Structure 1
């Protein structure tokens, strides 16, 4: 799903609002259509990341929760 030009963010251990802030900063440097995979352990990320995507015009391609770990794939809008 991700190509070598896309980005992976390991945001495990960071608490709200850091996962969204770091995702926003990383995505600002990417071209439209680039994909970012995110791993986070903050329970609020399951709310914050989808909200961030909606507000910023990005596409949330997938969201998965496995215990304490949440994984997201976002396409930059």
Structure 2
């Protein structure tokens, strides 16, 4: 296990930071690369879709988990 690391992002021109564990950060970056999207743009989309009760880091973790679940479901279907 790794300790969470604070990382900087720019969302719609505003600097912010999220604290994520390395595996989540690597998966998040890999999704952005696979979709040929800037990491900050993907983070801004996630930020815009989250509720006020959900922190940005949690929203990113849930996004990564959802993508993994979707990929597993696709693999099962063949």
Coarse TM-score class (shorter-chain normalised): under 0.3
- Higher share in strand: 1
Q: TM-score, normalised by structure 1?
A: 0.27
Q: Higher relative contact order by CA 8 Å / sep ≥ 6: 1 or 2?
A: 1
- Higher share in helix: 2
